[in-house]
């Protein structure tokens, strides 16, 4: 039976570094993505995610399982991201999705340069549309105010409960629901053209 | 229910986390309010569109960088980590241990003396100190912090026992 995150962290506290490795593998991608959407810079997101893991490791001796592990870890991540944004340490760089993908392919393991992805698709045009839509979504999410953005990222992509997100952001559940409402209201307006385009595409498909 | 209540409950409604009574109220409102119905539909569509945001994979070197930083961290003795819940306690315990070792270096037996008749006794004292110094008890924090042995010693009572009628 798989150990819970809290049990893994308690094992880390007892000196079992292999449990820390399991937590690292489980949460590196969610953390890097959350931080990337928060600070809008892929390299900065990786730096901050490393810092989160380091802080989790450093705090192992004092770890008490009073809250869910993810609440605790994402609270560290959110505070780091908000502080970094306020310090202006990370400029709001316009890193396109293609650019970040190329950066990673250069970095090591991936043998497939990002541009080759299009070659594997049935249509280059469809791939360009997909990228354009992803870019617009990214811009809409990243344009949200910091707290609203964090709330949506935790709600949508981490699928956290309201009490957990409220714990991460240090607000009441009622305030969180208000934050989420305002965020989704903005996204509803900003993403409306994409919704319409998708509906038109779907409506046109049966006739093809 | 009015449009103001929708703001409070719409996200929970779409998440399926609204209490049945509140859900029925909201659905009744949506049936009569086109603006809130449009908003609810817009929220649902935006939620679905957000699925198209690609996941950024961490760089292949990410794990190695984290491991390198973690390996630079001082390794704590796990016994200490388990028994000492805070850095302050750890510092106090360490200070106590160092002070104990330092004070033990002032054992009377170690003071050199010119008196020839004290030579043999002095040698014995030094041998005893060597044994004491090597005893693991000084390195055992558990013993230092819960030195029950002291409280178990018989307490010397006053010379005259208290008469029962005074108790």
- Segment A97-136, tens digit of pLDDT: 444 443 443 333 444 455 455 455 568 888 899 999 999 9
Mean pLDDT of B135-150: 52
Is the per-residue pLDDT at B119 higher than 60?
Answer: no
Q: A161-194: b or e for each residue (b if 16 or more CB lie within 10 Å)? A: ebebbbbbbebeeeebbbbbbbbbbbbbebbeeb
- Residue (of A12, A33, A2) closest to A156 by Cα position: A33
Mean pLDDT of A166-185: 96
Q: Does A26 touch chain B (CB under 8 A)?
A: no
Residue B23, Cβ density class (10 Å: 0-12 exposed, 13-18 middle, ≥19 buried)? middle
How many C-beta atoms lie closer than 10 Å to residue A49's C-beta? 28
Task: Report in angstroms the alpha-carbon separations of A68 from A19, A130, B127, B147.
Answer: 16, 36, 56, 37
Is the per-residue pLDDT at B142 higher than 60?
Answer: no
What pLDDT shows up at residue B91? 75
Residue A157, Cβ density class (10 Å: 0-12 exposed, 13-18 middle, ≥19 buried)? middle
SS3 content of chain B, % helix, strand, coil (to 5): 70, 0, 30
Is the per-residue pLDDT at B158 higher than 80?
Answer: no
What pLDDT shows up at residue B112? 47
Q: How far apart are CA A30 and CA A53, in angstroms?
A: 12
* ipTM of the complex model: 0.80
What pLDDT shows up at residue B145? 55
Distance from CA of B114 to the nearest CA of A (A): 53
- Residue (of A104, A68, A48) closest to B66 by Cα position: A48
Mean pLDDT of A77-96: 77
Q: Which residue in chain B has the smallest CA separation from A109?
A: B60
What pLDDT shows up at residue A154? 98
Q: Which residue in chain A has the smallest CA separation from B59?
A: A104
What pLDDT shows up at residue A126? 87
- A82-121 residues touching B, CB cutoff 8 A: 97, 100, 103-104, 107-110
Contact indicator for B42, A192 with CB cutoff of 8 Å: yes
Q: Which residue in chain A has the smallest CA separation from B56?
A: A33
What pLDDT shows up at residue B161? 44
Q: Which residue in chain A has the smallest CA separation from B85?
A: A62
Residue that wins the pLDDT comparison between B135 and A12:
A12
Out of A58-67, A177-186, A194-203, B129-138, pick the least confident. Answer: B129-138
What are the residues whose beta carbons fall under 8 Å from the beta carbon of B161, sequence distance 6 or more? none
Phi first, then psi: give them for residue A97, nearest 5 degrees. Answer: -60, -40
Q: Does A55 touch chain B (CB under 8 A)?
A: no
How many pairs of residues across A and B have Cβ atoms under 8 Å apart?
A: 127
What is the per-residue pLDDT across B43-53, written as a single tens digit (0 to 9) for each? Answer: 999 999 999 99
Mean pLDDT of A55-72: 91
Alpha helices in chain A (DSSP H): 5-13, 17-39, 42-58, 69-87, 97-107, 114-120, 124-142, 146-152, 162-169, 173-190, 192-204
Give CA angle at A48 (A170, A50), nearest 5°: 115
Out of A14-18, A75-79, A88-92, B42-46, pick the least confident. Answer: A88-92
Residues of B with CB under 8 A from a CB of A: 7-12, 17, 39, 42-43, 45-47, 49-50, 52-63, 65-66, 69-70, 73, 76, 78, 81-82, 85-86
Contact at CB, B52 and A130, closer than 8 angstroms: yes
The model's pTM is 0.68
* Residues of B with Cβ-Cβ distance to A61 under 8 angstroms: 76, 81, 85
């Amino acid at each position: 039976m798989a150990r819970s995150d809290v049990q893994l962290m308690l094992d880390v506290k007892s000196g079992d570094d292999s449990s820390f490795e399991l937590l690292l593998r489980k949460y590196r991608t969610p953390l890097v993505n959350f931080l990337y959407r928060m600070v809008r810079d892929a390299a900065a997101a990786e730096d901050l995610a490393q810092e989160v893991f380091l802080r989790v490791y450093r705090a192992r001796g004092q770890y008490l399982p009073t809250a869910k592990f993810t609440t605790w870890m994402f609270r560290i991540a959110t505070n780091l991201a908000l502080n970094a944004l306020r310090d202006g340490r990370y400029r709001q760089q316009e890193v396109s999705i293609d650019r970040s993908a190329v950066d990673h392919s250069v970095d090591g393991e991936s043998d497939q340069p990002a541009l080759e992805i299009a070659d594997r698709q049935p249509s280059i045009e469809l791939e360009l549309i997909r990228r354009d839509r992803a870019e617009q979504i990214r811009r809409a999410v990243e344009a949200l105010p910091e707290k609203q953005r964090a709330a949506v990222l935790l709600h949508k992509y981490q699928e956290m409960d309201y009490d957990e997100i409220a714990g991460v952001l240090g607000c009441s559940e009622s305030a969180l629901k208000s934050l989420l409402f305002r965020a989704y209201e903005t996204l509803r307006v900003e993403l409306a053209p994409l919704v319409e385009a998708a509906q038109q595409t779907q409506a046109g498909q049966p006739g093809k | 229910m009015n449009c103001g209540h929708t703001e409070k409950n719409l996200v929970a409604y779409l998440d399926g986390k609204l209490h049945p009574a509140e859900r029925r109220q909201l659905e009744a409102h949506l049936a009569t309010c086109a603006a809130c119905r449009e908003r609810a539909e817009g929220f649902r569509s935006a939620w679905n569109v957000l699925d198209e945001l690609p996941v950024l994979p961490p760089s292949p070197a990410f794990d190695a960088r984290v491991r390198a930083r973690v390996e630079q961290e001082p390794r704590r003795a796990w016994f200490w980590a388990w028994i000492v819940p805070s850095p302050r306690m750890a510092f106090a315990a360490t200070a106590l241990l160092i002070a104990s070792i330092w004070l033990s270096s002032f054992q009377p037996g170690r003071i050199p003396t010119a008196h020839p008749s004290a030579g043999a006794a002095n040698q014995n004292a030094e041998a005893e100190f060597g044994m004491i110094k090597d005893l693991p008890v000084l390195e055992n924090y558990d013993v230092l912090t819960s030195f029950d042995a002291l409280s178990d010693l018989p307490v010397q009572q006053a010379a005259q026992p208290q008469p029962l009628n005074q108790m």
